[in-house]
Structure 1
Amino acid sequence: MTTDADVAFLRLSGSPFAIGRGHGEALAAPLRSFLDDSVCRLNKVMQDPVSVAGLRPLISAYRAETAAAVPRLAEEVEGLAAGAGISEEEAWLLQLRREIMGYRKVPTAGDCTTFARVGTAAHGQPVLAQTVDLNGDLDDRISVLEVAAPGVDRRSLILSFAGLLGYLGVNSDGLAVGLNLVLGGEWRPGLPPYLAIRHLLDTSSDVTEALETLRGLKLASSRTLVLCDRERVAWVECLGDDLRVMRATEVAHTNHFLDPDFAAHDELNVFARNSSVRRLEAARAGLAALPATADAEDYFGLLSRPPICVPDTGDIRRERTVAAVVMLPQRGELHLRPGDPSLSTTRVFRLQAG
């Protein structure tokens, strides 16, 4: 477990290909070593072994769907490959790792706890905060990207793992996007949710625009996105081609569906559901106990406590907390604690002016 890891910080701009190339050049050695580590560590966490050659048809299908939906990001993946000196299939594999893993039916203790508050509940300082719970020991693969979206005056701070173009982040218009894994429906070739989040940050100025854009996308797999701008908060549960939205001044979400219509289609196993319910209750209670004047360190205090913070059991196949993030959309700030947030120190990343 990495408790206070180095975090690469990359400022990227230019054409989509140039952005990808800069990303790849900066992280060429770690990306190559990750690809060579049991195929992005997939063979350390999956029951059936995979290979790049064997995954070629699946990669091709996702690539085609992504290129049709967001051609800019497809060009960026090409640039990533060129910059890192890897094949385009390998660059796409870095984007598709979670889709290839698919549903996981093993008992687990976590997979992200997310909350957000705005308005008087946040004393006028909107916040979106979450743990990042992943398997594969990915806390040694964290980077933060500051990306200038081509053709518009908009920049984003993106939390990334091992070459991902997107995961979660905040943009210069004051929109922040977080996420939770939920399991349901058919997972199929489409736009991976991590890349959808990057697309929302590149193209949307607020929650309303992000929701409109999201409704036009064919997502590859089920997720909950938590959206926060200077005035509004919403969670969006995505199941197949359907969305359910809940708006409030304060929201929390974990890994089970909260919408009654979607709950009947929840595929989360009983062990994971019990963990999800406990973490949701802890998040709601913790938020209720925090004053509206709470700052980033107060929110990290909540994210660092069990059951919200999921400890390392030593099993690479099990999800654990590999990072915690507090985003302040009005300030354009992303506060990060890499690894176990109860053991690491806070790094603050701010969007560059103009």
Structure 2
Amino acid sequence: MSTFNVRILQLRGSSFQIGLQTGVELKNTGILHVLNSITKQEIDYLSMKSIYTSFAPHLLEELEGLAEGLGISSKRAAALLSGYDVPKTEAMGCSTLMTSDYYVRNYDFSPDFYDGIFSCVQSDTALASAGYNLQVLGRHDGVNEKGLSMGLHFVSHQGYRKGVSPWAAIRMVLETCSSVEEAVTMLKEIPHSACYNFSLGDCDGKMAKVEAIPERVTVRSGEYFLSCVNHFQEDQMTSNNRPSIEGSIQRNKHLLSLKGKRWSHDQMFHHFKSEESPIFFTDYEQLFGTLHTFSYSYRDSRILTGIAGGRDILDVNFQDWVNGKDILEERLSGFIK
């Protein structure tokens, strides 16, 4: 059993300042060495810049701040952290359940490829957001100040091409879109690099599972209950699934079995986080162990989140944070078996 920690960063100001502060915090940390080993030394900087200018120009400013904070060039920061033209990564597992009242999900992978950062950011040119970092700039999952919640779900590398990673797409959506409808519109326009599902929910009770491949995007909506895992379900998309999706199918069956229980936000969060749950995994050496549980209640703007093996739970009214009330906690601690 090994100790497992996640740092909580709270950053407000210009996007450049947010990037600068993040870079200073992360300089010489282990995650940068990991990213150095799995990303390209150079990418097509002008193509990346053109896409980000169209969808989220404030993230270009943040990249400039990151470069300065880390003491590297803008082009190196773009290759290392932008989430554009990233080499194929190993499979990730994620299970999400959405209702008209809340959004809750588990993220499953390996702690060796995990940023270990939960960030609350409030830029003066974008919507405030909170979520778990991936490749520093991107997000595994999160929520914004309008109550839009979102997460990624790896499906396959079928048709893989140079484009925007799903974790960068999440950041773009959360900090520029106010609703599921707006998010779906943007996800149809972003040039995706691989096959991913995106789970979406908003404070109006709308929810959607977006199935995205580099060539097209399809959308499945729900009225008051919707699940999302790691395989496509729309007929025109299923040919892009991996050969073996039995595990994903079983997780989805379990999520669907919860439909009649009508559990509260707290109950569902603790079910996902429990090590006894059918959707909590400990296969960390096979890159399939639960690392964090993230959830958001639309009724009271409440984030509940915790990490594997941790007793401490971060319980935050995100609207209070947006209004200036800082989080007292500085980290979450847990254990990996």
Task: Tell me if TM exceeds 0.5.
Answer: yes
In structure 2, the residue matched to 1:80 is: 66
Residue 297 (structure 2) pairs with residue 312 (structure 1): no
Q: 1:350 aligned to 317, 330, 337, which one?
A: 317
Higher strand fraction: Structure 1 or Structure 2?
2
| Aligned 8 A contact 1:131 1:325 in 2 | yes
Quick one: which amino acid aligns to residue 259 of structure 1? E
SS in 2 for 1:26: helix
Alignment partner of 1:299 out of 269, 273, 297: 269
Distance in 1 separating the partners of 2:313 and 2:188 = 35
**Contact (CA 8 Å) 1:62, 1:191: kept in 2 or not?**
no
Contact 2:6 2:116 in 1 (8 A): yes
- Match status 1:159 vs 2:158: no
Q: Distance in 2 between matches of 1:250 and 1:90?
A: 40
CA RMSD of aligned residues (A): 2.7
Contact 2:292 2:306 in 1 (8 A): yes
Counterpart CA distance in 2 for 1:132 and 1:62 is 30
Aligned counterparts of 1:61 and 1:310: Cα–Cα separation in 2: 41
Instruction: Indicate the residue corresponding to 1:114 in structure 2.
Output: 96
1:259 equivalent among 234, 242, 251: 234
Cα contact 2:152–2:166 (8 A) shared by 1 = no
Aligned partner (choices 189, 192, 195) of residue 222 of structure 1: 195
Shift of 1:288: 2.5
Q: Distance in 2 between matches of 1:306 and 1:62?
A: 44
| Contact 1:169/1:334, CA 8 A, preserved across alignment | no
With structure 1 as the length reference, what TM-score do the two structures score?
Answer: 0.79
Unaligned runs of 5+ in 2: 324-337
Q: Deviation of residue 275 (structure 1)? A: 0.8
Corresponding residue for 2:20?
Answer: 21
Q: Contact 1:190/1:219 (CA < 8 Å) preserved in 2?
A: yes
Q: Any idea what the Cα deviations from partners look like across 1:71-124, whole Å, max 9, x if unmatched?
A: 3212212211211334542563244499323465xxxxx611111001xxxxxx
With over 3 angstroms needed to count, the CA separation of the structure-2 counterparts of 1:322 and 1:236, relative to structure 1, is same
Residue pairs, 1:331-350, within 5 angstroms: 331-340=300-309, 344-350=311-317
Partner of 1:107: none
Query: Structure 1 or 2: larger helix share?
Result: 1
Find 1:148's aligned residue among 117, 122, 125. Answer: 122
Please state whether the residue corresponding to 2:136 is helix, strand or coil. coil
The residue type paired with residue 246 of structure 1 is R
In the alignment, what sits opposite 1:12?
Answer: 11
Quote the Cα distance in structure 2 between the aligned partners of 1:283 and 1:302.
10
The residue number in structure 1 matching 2:335 is none
CA distance, structure 1, for counterparts of residue 135 and residue 213 of structure 2: 26
Quote the residue 2:218 is aligned against.
244
Cα separation, 2, equivalents of 1:319 and 1:97: 24
CA deviations on 1:323-346 (whole Å, 9 max, x unpaired) are 111122343332221125xx5432
TM-score (norm 2): 0.83
Q: Distance in 1 between matches of 2:50 and 2:278?
A: 38
Give the deviation of 1:177 after TM superposition.
Answer: 0.8
Give the deviation of 1:156 after TM superposition: 1.1
**Could you tell me which residue of structure 1 aligns to residue 255 of structure 2?**
283
SS, match of residue 93 in structure 2: coil
What does 1:27-66 align with in structure 2 at a 5 Å threshold?
27-30=26-29, 33-37=30-34, 42=38, 55-58=40-43, 60=45, 63-64=48-49, 66=51
Q: Residues 322 and 40 of structure 1: is their aligned pair in 2 closer, same or farther, counting only changes over 3 Å?
A: farther
CA gap of 1:98–1:253, structure 2 versus 1, over 3 A, is: farther
- Report what 1:213 is aligned to: 186
1:56 is displaced (CA, Å) by 2.6
After TM superposition, what 4+ stretches of structure 1 lie above 6 angstroms from structure 2? none
Which residue number in structure 2 is paired with residue 100 of structure 1? 87
| CA-CA distance at 1:208 after TM superposition | 1.1
- Structure 1 distance, partners of 2:62, 2:143, is 19
